[in-house]
Structures are given as C-alpha cells and as structure tokens.
A and B are shown apart, each in its own frame.
Chain A
Amino acid sequence: GQNIDQPTEMTATEGAIVQINCTYQTSGFNGLFWYQQHAGEAPTFLSYNVLDGLEEKGRFSSFLSRSKGYSYLLLKELQMKDSASYLCAVRDVENTDKLIFGTGTRLQVFP
C-alpha cells in the first residue's frame, strides 16, 4: 500500500527553527517533494529530493533518507508568513509523475 505520515499540527515561535518530519511507505520511489499551502490557496513548490542528503534553499532545507523512508523539512528564522500547511509528496513510480500526498502538517507561527 501507499502511506505517507506527517504530524497533523505544529506550533513555533517567530525567529525559531522548526523541523517537519515525513515518513513514507510506497510501492516505489522516484523523488520526494515538499509543498507549502496557505489556507484556500494553491500549493507552491518548496523542494525536491531524489538522492539521500540535504538540499538547502534559503531559509528552507529538506533532507532525505531513502533507506529509512524518511524526510524532513527544516524552516529557519521563522516568520509569521510561514504559517501554512506543509505537504510531503512522493512520486512512486518511474515514467509517471503521479504524486502521492500526505495529509499535510499545519504550522502556526506565534510572535
């Protein structure tokens, strides 16, 4: 079966660092994506990992361990505008771009 797990909700303080974890069990693996989604809006692409290791992009970093079926998204220097849902998604089969999404982690940043 296909299963992607993320915490439902997290809270953090402005200026802090937060790590959002994602574990997956899928029939195949061809890349892991993180998207940000503000309530009622379209998801926007944050990061893509296909090899093990850390990908850094400004205040956001994403890590992947394929052997553990595990990824995390690290957000540094949190800002109020980072309050949103963060969606982990796996592309499970080669030659198709179908994404399997987790239910998302709703992050609230407090001043």
Chain B
Amino acid sequence: DSGVTQTPKHLITATGQRVTLRCSPRSGDLSVYWYQQSLDQGLQFLIQYYNGEERAKGNILERFSAQQFPDLHSELNLSSLELGDSALYFCASSLGHEQFFGPGTRLTVL
C-alpha cells in the first residue's frame, strides 16, 4: 500500500459524458501527478500539481482538466468522453524524487 488513494476503482460510462477522478496523496506529499495508461501503452504523463498550483503539463487533452485543492487532494475531470479515453488513470504523489502511485481508476467508455 503506497498511501495514495484513488476513487473510484472502476468507472463505466458512455461517450459524450463527463467524469471526475479523485486522488488523495500520501500525508505530507505536496506534489500530485496524473498519468494515463492505455492498453499495451506506456504511462503517459498528463499533469502535475505542486501545493495547489500547476507545475508541469504533458500531452493532456483540452477536454481534460485537473486541480489540486487546499487539502492537497486532486481531481481529474474528463469531459466529452470518447472510446479512446478508456484507460487506467493513475495518480502519484511525491515529496522528493520518488513517486508513489495509487491503485488507479479503470475507466471504460462504451
């Protein structure tokens, strides 16, 4: 158990819908990262927040957005969902160089 929690564990929805994924970092970690892992693909970095502010951005689609709240939990919002958005979405947190990953949310878009 890494200490990072993510909810929900599974999410099944339809194309065109909007969903919110939630992440709670390890106690004391200020950075939160979001990654997408599609079938047979590597982990793709989406976005990083540090102490409430956006710090780095990857190839995140405009339909996706994220935020980090004052209590340091983070949410990833995915809208106008497409079939290709089906993937595992991981959240990670860190204080130093090592990133600790949560169990992931498996999103299935039908």
A contacts, CB < 8 Å to B = 31, 33, 35, 40-45, 48, 87, 89, 91, 96-104
Overall SS of chain B's interface = strand
Shortest A15–chain B CB gap in Å is 29
Contact present for B33 and A97 (CB under 8 Å): yes
Interface range on chain B (Cβ under 8 Å from partner)? 20 to 34
The 10 closest A-B pairs by CB, nearest first: A42-B101, A103-B42, A101-B43, A98-B56, A96-B56, A101-B42, A43-B101, A45-B98, A42-B103, A98-B45
- Asked if B74 lies at the interface with its beta carbon under 8 angstroms from chain A, I say no
Give chain A residues whose Cβ lies under 8 Å from the Cβ of B42.
87, 101-104
Cα of A43 to Cα of B44 in the assembled complex, Å: 13
B contacts, CB < 8 Å to A = 2, 4, 31, 33, 35, 40-45, 48, 55-56, 58, 88, 90, 94, 97-104, 106
Contact present for A45 and B103 (CB under 8 Å): no
A-B contact sample (20 more), CB < 8 A, given A43-B90, A48-B97? A31-B97, A40-B104, A42-B102, A42-B104, A44-B2, A45-B98, A45-B99, A48-B98, A87-B42, A96-B56, A97-B33, A97-B97, A98-B33, A98-B56, A99-B33, A101-B35, A101-B43, A101-B45, A103-B41, A104-B42
